[in-house]
């Protein structure tokens, strides 16, 4: 198994997720999303995800997408809409 780092942006009608092989890149993407005024009403979430060592990029994308939609992840940081909440959460989203 290996760890990838995910950043999700979710609105009431859609969502997207990016994953990275290193945490600094994921943190930079999270900060970019948080500064983007067009995402001001979205929920932004960062989390890490364990995936098989030999998973292809497509398989990792599917696993990350599934974790986001099923909320089967351990949240590292979240900003909910315009309230600017940034919190490290030690509990599972499920």
Q: Each residue of 72-83: pLDDT tens digit?
A: 998 999 988 755
Q: pLDDT tens for residues 45-84?
A: 999 999 999 999 999 999 999 999 898 998 999 988 755 5
Evaluate if pTM is beyond 0.75: yes
Residues near 15 by Cβ (< 8 Å), separated by ≥ 6? 8, 9, 68, 69
Using CA atoms, how far residue 15 sits from 2, 39, 42, 52, in Å, is: 24, 11, 9, 24
């Amino acid at each position: 198994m290996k760890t990838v780092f995910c950043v999700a942006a979710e609105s009431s009608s859609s969502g997207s997720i990016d994953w990275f092989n290193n945490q600094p890149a994921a943190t930079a993407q999270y900060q970019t999303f948080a500064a983007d005024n067009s995402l001001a009403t979205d929920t932004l979430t960062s989390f890490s995800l364990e995936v098989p060592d030999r998973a292809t990029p497509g398989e990792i994308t599917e696993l990350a997408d599934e974790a986001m939609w099923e909320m089967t992840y351990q949240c590292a940081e979240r900003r909910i809409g315009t309230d600017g909440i940034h919190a490290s959460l030690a509990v599972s989203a499920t």
